[in-house]
Structure 1
Amino acid sequence: MLAEICGIDFKKQMVLRIGLAASEDTFCLSQARERLRMKTVIVVHGGAWAIPDMLAEASVAGVKTAARAGDAVLKNGGSAVDAVEKAVRYLEDDPAFDAGHGAVLNINGEVELDSIIMDGKTLATGAVASVRNIANPVSLARAVMQKTDHVMLTDRGASMFAERIGIPVADDLVTELERKDWELSNSYKDGVKTLFNTQWGHDTVGAVALDSLGNVACATSTGGIRNKMVGRVGDTPIIGSGGYADNRSGAVSCTGHGESILKVTLARLILFHMEQGKSATVAADASLQYMGERVKGCGGAIVVSSSGDWAANFTTERMAWASLKENVLHYGLNPKEDFTEMLK
């Protein structure tokens, strides 16, 4: 009766109210999801060693470019795994770094590349070692992770797998400068530690990232150290040493004297300290200090926690690094350096 008096169609009114409520719920859910989205982070490094002045500018420029490339992936909704692969591919394509197109030569004058990538969500991991003719071993490592039941492939087996899945062979990985430097050094008699701590050394590249869904990942890639023995594999492709990623703690990519990093499983050691409540910086510092005291090794690490805390620490003369979080680009080369740029 009231509806007839007032001229109100209650069925239409209820439909309208339900529609408005649904719209409000959708809006609130969208806002909640937006609030729950993590602030993305990416950190990259170009190797911890005695970087000579002639490579300093190129090294810093390279890590900044790689950080921007990885950040673009994250901003477009890409995963942490996508971001670290993209960043490391940029570094592998840059001849200023010892990975891919900038790889150093072993004692026989040959390229031998190692790489690892790890997904912190599932602990899925892929790695390759002693690869000779692949420009982007990080992508081959990801293929091992996603297309095989294994974690690591080496040398001939890795090359056979790359051929089977259509990854092209690269015959132009050695620069003219590297060939000249190799001919000058031409001896392993000083050992990797001595070479590593001089400008004859050369080292690893890597990246860690946190994506908007709260997943972390790491990737590390290297050509090793000049004049290494044929078949020598350092820390880079070894899970827990050259890199590790776990959503329950964070992600790490290591760089430095590979034999020392292997002995203390540096990446996993850093995350152990973080699991005990230490910040990324404190955990990295404590672990690098322990490595120095216990096995006399120097190195560096980049770290990101599952909450977005990040660090770039090293005990060598220099390490080129860069990070991007909330459009703020941090970067450095020398100890205690932390320059910033605001990106649009």
Structure 2
Amino acid sequence: MNPIVVVGYNILKQGGSAVDAVEGAVTVLEDDPDFNAGCGSVLNENGEVEMDASIMNGKDLSAGAVSAVRCIANPIKLARLVMDKTPHCFLTDQGAAKFAAANGIPTIPGQQLVTERNRKRLEKEKLEKDAQKADCQNNLGTVGAVAVDCQGNLAYATSTGGIVNKMPGRVGDTPCIGSGGYADNDIGAVSTTGHGESILKVNLARLALFHVEQGKSLEEAANASLGHMKSKVKGVGGIIMVNKTGEWAVKWTSTSMPWGAAKDGKLHSGIDFGDTSIINLS
């Protein structure tokens, strides 16, 4: 996780925008087979990869999202193009594929995105025949990033392969603006992970920012929104947040969540509760 955070941090240090930073960080995560996005995406019930992603610029609330994407290495790049080059916020399936081709996004064989680990995970899931339990507790590998740049602009990006053994065409929270993430310069930027159906039901990202608008700190807002989701629909997940002054928060109700944050030349990171390390980047 540490080098990935540094990718985004270096983009910001070089004067890049918050949108550039979150796209860059999430692209690296999509390329890492250890995460449930891009080439590490979990498989649907047919043994295929279908991916979702979204990105948002807090400066003007412009946003781009894609869902049910196949045969593309980096869905977050396609979501960025939707934001920058169309009047729409969201493209899906064949429409997204045609747009990708028209904009020079290369396609790759679908099996190139399938890892042996995820083949075994699908086999295990089918054998267990307890999809709801596994869905809520074991499939929380969505990746995301939030950033604030030197102009005080905020952005988020989120990407996922979804949940193991999902129905073809299933879409979770990740590409849904307000659930999988949200960014508004006046409030903050959020990216979420966890049980997608639960996150959708409570509109988790926007709910967290609502609590900020009501005067809560970022940590209090994250805790309140995650607590609400757990009490209302028994959903677990995680949140990363930042505001335009550079304050940040990381909270989760799942068993663990790999995370990292870079600020003022220091890198903070952890996985389990109470497990935080700090190192100097310079």
Give 1 or 2 for the bigger CA radius of gyration. 1
Deviation at 1:193?
Answer: 4.1
- Aligned-residue Cα RMSD (Å) equals 1.2
What pairs with 1:1-344 in structure 2 (closer than 5 Å)?
63-171=1-109, 172-186=112-126, 189-198=129-138, 201-344=139-282
Is the alpha carbon distance of 1:276 and 1:227 closer, same or farther for their aligned partners in structure 2, counting shifts above 3 Å? same
Please give the secondary structure, in 2, of the residue aligned with 1:84: helix
Q: Distance in 1 between matches of 2:127 and 2:38?
A: 23
Question: Residues 202 and 226 of structure 1 are in contact (CA less than 8 Å); yes or no, is this contact kept in structure 2?
Answer: no
Letter in 1 for 2:244: S
Q: Which deviates the most, 321-330 or 169-178?
A: 169-178
Q: Distance in 2 between matches of 1:326 and 1:141?
A: 30
Question: Residues 196 and 225 of structure 1 are in contact (CA less than 8 Å); yes or no, is this contact kept in structure 2?
Answer: no
Residues 309-333 of structure 1, C-alpha deviations (whole Å, 9 max, x = no match): 1011000100000000011100010
Question: Residues 279 and 309 of structure 1 are in contact (CA less than 8 Å); yes or no, is this contact kept in structure 2?
Answer: no
Gaps of 5+ in 1: 1-62
Deviation at 1:183?
Answer: 2.4
Is the alpha carbon distance of 1:307 and 1:341 closer, same or farther for their aligned partners in structure 2, counting shifts above 3 Å? same
Deviation at 1:102?
Answer: 0.3
Question: Residues 125 and 131 of structure 2 are in contact (CA less than 8 Å); yes or no, is this contact kept in structure 1?
Answer: no
Letter in 2 for 1:215: N
Question: Residues 140 and 195 of structure 2 are in contact (CA less than 8 Å); yes or no, is this contact kept in structure 1?
Answer: no
Question: Residues 192 and 228 of structure 1 are in contact (CA less than 8 Å); yes or no, is this contact kept in structure 2?
Answer: no
Letter in 2 for 1:208: V
Higher relative contact order, chain-length normalized (CA < 8 Å, sep 6+): 1
Q: Distance in 2 between matches of 1:195 and 1:250?
A: 29
TM-score normalised by the chain length of structure 1: 0.80
Is the alpha carbon distance of 1:148 and 1:188 closer, same or farther for their aligned partners in structure 2, counting shifts above 3 Å? farther
Deviation at 1:188?
Answer: 8.1
Question: Residues 187 and 227 of structure 1 are in contact (CA less than 8 Å); yes or no, is this contact kept in structure 2?
Answer: no
Please give the secondary structure, in 1, of the residue aligned with 2:155: strand
Question: Residues 114 and 128 of structure 1 are in contact (CA less than 8 Å); yes or no, is this contact kept in structure 2?
Answer: yes
Question: Residues 188 and 227 of structure 1 are in contact (CA less than 8 Å); yes or no, is this contact kept in structure 2?
Answer: no
Map of 1:60 onto structure 2? none
Question: Residues 209 and 216 of structure 1 are in contact (CA less than 8 Å); yes or no, is this contact kept in structure 2?
Answer: yes
Q: Distance in 2 between matches of 1:251 and 1:83?
A: 13
Please give the secondary structure, in 2, of the residue aligned with 1:186: helix
Question: Residues 16 and 149 of structure 2 are in contact (CA less than 8 Å); yes or no, is this contact kept in structure 1?
Answer: yes
Q: Which deviates the most, 310-319 or 180-189?
A: 180-189
Question: Residues 121 and 247 of structure 1 are in contact (CA less than 8 Å); yes or no, is this contact kept in structure 2?
Answer: yes
Residues 77-103 of structure 1, C-alpha deviations (whole Å, 9 max, x = no match): 000000000000000000000000100
Deviation at 1:189?
Answer: 3.9
Please give the secondary structure, in 1, of the residue aligned with 2:73: coil
Q: Distance in 2 between matches of 1:90 and 1:277?
A: 34
Return structure 1 stretches of 4+ with deviation > 4 angstroms.
Answer: none
Deviation at 1:192?
Answer: 3.8
Q: Distance in 1 between matches of 2:60 and 2:46?
A: 39
Question: Residues 85 and 139 of structure 1 are in contact (CA less than 8 Å); yes or no, is this contact kept in structure 2?
Answer: yes
Q: Distance in 2 between matches of 1:135 and 1:240?
A: 25
